[in-house]
Structure 1
Amino acid sequence: MNIDLGDFEQNELQQIPINKIRLNPFQPRKDFEPEKLAELMQSIKTYGLLQPIIVRVVEGGYQLVAGDRRLRACSQLGWTEIPAVVRELSENAMATMALIENLQRENLSFLEEAAGYERLLREFGLTQEVLAQRLGKSQSTIANKLRLLKLPEKVKEKLLKEELTERHARALLKLPDAAAQEKILNEICNLNYTVKQTEQRVEEYLRSLSAPLPAKERKKVIIRDIRIFLNTVRQAVSLLESGGLGPKIKEKDFGDYLEITIRIPKQRKQKKTRPAAGSHIAREINQAATT
């Protein structure tokens, strides 16, 4: 796809009623800074509109392809018509063109840029490789931008609000969960960390996760494990008893260690049986017969 935003002939220009133009649903830019818009309005008021907007024909009018800020500025200045170039474009081309325009003007935040990539991939089934070719970027650049969208919404909002950089955001991606990301982000904002300081703080946090537990904490874990072990041993002895093996268990606590002795007979215990009723009479008769 070959898209040139500035390639048009003077005779292609048309004056189009502003109220006939619909906004571009694929506009990647979500926030329009009032100060920047006011500066553009003043420039247009002084020098006129130096570059026309680009539209395409749709049912009932036109749809904006490129020039969202210019259209908004002219509308707020009270213009009823605006110079425009009409192009025949598919939705795919229109969405790509809107993204390219904003990238060329460098007025997108890194998160808006990432969201724009994601929408192009999702809406039109493009691969990262194809999108990279259309935008003149490497596939790894596209992939790295898209990873930023994995950050929690609260984190992304604060990154934009505090005007932090993409490298700050990339450092936060290394953290294991949202709680850690919010914690470190608050530190970044409160202490005005540079990118380098942020990266160092993230590495420090990750090292702390793999550090050994304090002795007190280790002791708690060991005690808990010993109790589980003792319960397991006692249950095993109980099973042996129910099987008639008659085991004996002794436990001695020596403070630093616990001694457990288990004695298990090699033969099952023989249960004592009571003589059958009348058996002693039979014995007496037998004895009498032999005397």
Structure 2
Amino acid sequence: MLDQNVASATVREIPVDRVRANPFQPRRQFDDEELKELATSIEAYGLLQPVLVRPKGNSWYELIAGERRLRAVRLLGRSTIPALVRELADEDVALLALVENLQRQDLSFWEEAQGYARLLAEFDLTQEELAQRLGKSQSTIANKLRLLRLPDSIRHNISREIFTERHARALLRLPDQETQEKIAHKIVTENLTVQATEKLIEKIVDEAKPKKKKARFVRIYKDIRLFINSVRHAASELKKAGLNVTIDERETEGSWEISIVVPKKSSGKPRSRGRRQQVTSSSFADEKGLPSTRVVER
């Protein structure tokens, strides 16, 4: 329907000084040298495509599409410009202005993202609705809008010749505005490639992650009686196995000593009197107040 409205418009000459700028123009920067080149082309070959305007009352017109052409004609000092005049609603005007720039690839990725954001806000559109009207995917719209999370200091002051959309996407991974601005400045001053930028940011993100401490397994006996009971249980099990085990416990001021005596058995030979194996298990407090164990064979 929008295309039909534009196609049915008639071309007429209108006064250049009666044309107002498009309030929905997404483009914010116009290269002076490019405008001069366009003006030279128009002077040599004429204006091949008229601008698109809508009437605004009292012989005024509002520009919808063709701001570069209008500026170039003004540079030439001409008083009139060929124009398609058509009644269009605000939403259609905003969409046409954005589409024209997208088709000509005149917009920076910042301007494109800002254009999407304005259309969503001005006309209460969803991302899906906007995507359908522009012939784009919803993910494309969403990804462009994410770029607007970067601070204004980056969005407004970075040259698009050096700073690409992929640079901007990489910056979104950084944790805070100060770091984003620092790396953005580094990208421009050192002319970092996208690959170098992504590698640098990956390093920064990794270093910002909390370091995982290696687990240390420390055996702690909160109650020394648990330790002593374990030793007693071991002696009891030896007795059940038929060994003539004796256990001797002695508590001193700084420790608790437990001795377990197990007689040696000979293999079919008479046992030497008085020879026996003594296993001494001593529990004592170390420097940290934790019990430790030593075993001695006599």
Do residues 112 (structure 1) and 116 (structure 2) align? no
Q: Highest Rg: 1 or 2? A: 2
Aligned residue runs from structure 1 range 113-132, under 5 A: 113-132=112-131
Q: What's the offset of the Cα at 1:2?
A: 4.0
Change (3 A) 1:213 1:190: farther
* Counterpart position of 1:133: 132
Q: Which segment is superposed worse, 188-197 or 74-83? A: 188-197
* Counterpart position of 2:85: 86
CA distance, structure 2, for counterparts of residue 169 and residue 54 of structure 1: 34
* Counterpart position of 2:51: 53
Change (3 A) 1:4 1:175: farther
Structure possessing the higher relative contact order (Cα contacts under 8 Å, 6 or more residues apart): 1
TM-score normalized by structure 1? 0.69
CA distance, structure 2, for counterparts of residue 115 and residue 182 of structure 1: 20
Contact 2:162 2:191 (C-alpha < 8 Å) held by counterparts: no
CA distance, structure 2, for counterparts of residue 4 and residue 206 of structure 1: 52
- Structure 1 runs not aligned, ≥5 long: 215-256, 260-291
Bigger fraction of residues in helix: 1
Q: What's the offset of the Cα at 1:258?
A: 7.0
Contact 2:52 2:64 (C-alpha < 8 Å) held by counterparts: yes
CA distance, structure 2, for counterparts of residue 15 and residue 163 of structure 1: 41
Q: What's the offset of the Cα at 1:159?
A: 2.8
CA distance, structure 2, for counterparts of residue 165 and residue 33 of structure 1: 18
Contact 1:28 1:115 (C-alpha < 8 Å) held by counterparts: yes
CA distance, structure 1, for counterparts of residue 95 and residue 200 of structure 2: 38
CA displacement 1:104-133 (0-9 Å, x = unmatched): 110110000100010001111111101101
Change (3 A) 1:47 1:8: farther
Change (3 A) 1:184 1:4: farther
Contact 2:2 2:92 (C-alpha < 8 Å) held by counterparts: no
Q: How much is the aligned-residue C-alpha RMSD, in angstroms?
A: 2.4
Aligned sequence identity (%): 53
2:87 is paired with a residue whose SS is coil
1:164 is paired with a residue whose SS is coil
Q: What's the offset of the Cα at 1:197?
A: 1.2
2:24 to 23, 26, 33: 26
What number of residue pairs does the alignment pair up? 217
Contact 1:159 1:169 (C-alpha < 8 Å) held by counterparts: no
Q: Find runs of 4+ consecutive structure 1 residues off by over 2 angstroms.
A: 1-9, 157-163, 211-214
TM-score normalized by structure 2? 0.68
CA distance, structure 2, for counterparts of residue 155 and residue 131 of structure 1: 26
* Counterpart position of 2:263: none
* Counterpart position of 1:289: none
CA distance, structure 2, for counterparts of residue 90 and residue 70 of structure 1: 23
CA distance, structure 1, for counterparts of residue 200 and residue 7 of structure 2: 48
